[in-house]
Amino acid sequence: MNAIISASELASDLVGPNPPVLLDVRWQLSVAKAAGEPPFDGRTEYAAGHIPGAVYVDLDRELAGPAGTGGRHPLPELAEFGAAMRRAGVSSGTPVVVYDGGQGWAAARAWWLLRWTGHPDVRVLDGGLPSWQGPLQSSVPGPALAEGDFEPVPAAAGLLDADAAAALARAGVLLDARAGERYRGEVEPIDRVGGHIPGARSAPTTDNVGPDGRFLPAEELNARFKALGAGDDTEVGVYCGSGVSGAHEVLALAVAGIPAALYVGSWSEWSSDPERPVAVGPDPQ
């Protein structure tokens, strides 16, 4: 099954015999704002207009646990995640489509969590809300929304911790989905120190999409990742700053037909421990 869905395909599915549950996961990374500029509020954006029937999901509160030693967006408690998904109407036997404001990172985080915890049919709207040509709805679904029955069951594979990520950088392929300047250690606007996990290869997730925010064709993505050493029988892992844009790269790899694991703690966890080694510069080592 394809991991992404076009806006036209979604419009058709919504009026079909088995319409998907829609999750709106609009989110932006919290960075310093100009004086007087309000912070991004995904719930406000959702209330101003969303795809009809979509339910808002808060990435920081429902798709991640509290920030701490496990990183800025560690895994949520599975019981809390499952409850949030059921409140949103997610059931194991019903397809799910996730979208965000167009960047794709937040939607990919929801996609990855649902897939890793056992949902068999989850796709991301390619291009996010800007790709949607249909009507928008401003009313918010109330308590009458039917609760789902999804119970998360984590997979044995697909998740890396710090030690496994370090080992994979040596024995397989570990991709760093952040911007190249952060990988090289030239700048670090968020975490304690810049640089990368020794052995990791720079693969900015922004290079996986075109100017319209949609993914490049599968064959182009496959060629890109194979040039980085991924594919065939090679074990592949991905990390980023906090397990959000990395999920987007895992999604791009899935589109390319290459399975990959995610190091959820990512650089925000790795760099918080001064005992862990840090590499700088353009080369993996």
Instruction: Please enumerate in sequence order all residues whose Cβ is within 8 A of that of 93, keeping only pairs 6 or more positions apart, or say none.
Output: none
Q: Where are the alpha helices (DSSP H) in the chain?
A: 7-14, 42-48, 59-62, 78-87, 105-116, 162-171, 180-184, 218-227, 245-255, 266-270
Length of the chain: 285
Nearest to 103 by CA among 59, 52, 48: 59
In the numeric block, the tokens 């990988």 are attached to: 183
State the Cα–Cα distance between residues 37 and 10, nearest whole angstrom: 34
What token pair was written down for 2? 């394809």
Catalytic residue of the set 160, 240, 255, 256: 240
**Annotated catalytic, 240?**
yes
Q: Which helix (H) or strand (E) holds 55?
A: strand 55-56
Task: Give Cβ neighbours of residue 212 (< 8 Å, ≥ 6 apart).
Answer: 127, 130, 131
The structure tokens listed for 21 are: 């549950």
H or E stretch including 156? none
Beta-bridged to residue 202, according to DSSP, are 176
Q: 106, 217, 96: which is closest to 152 by C-alpha?
A: 96
Tokens 């990520």 locate to 165
- Please answer whether residues 259 and 253 qualify as being in contact, where contact means their C-beta atoms are separated by less than 8 angstroms: yes
Residue with tokens 């308590």: 143
- Catalytic residue positions, numbered: 240
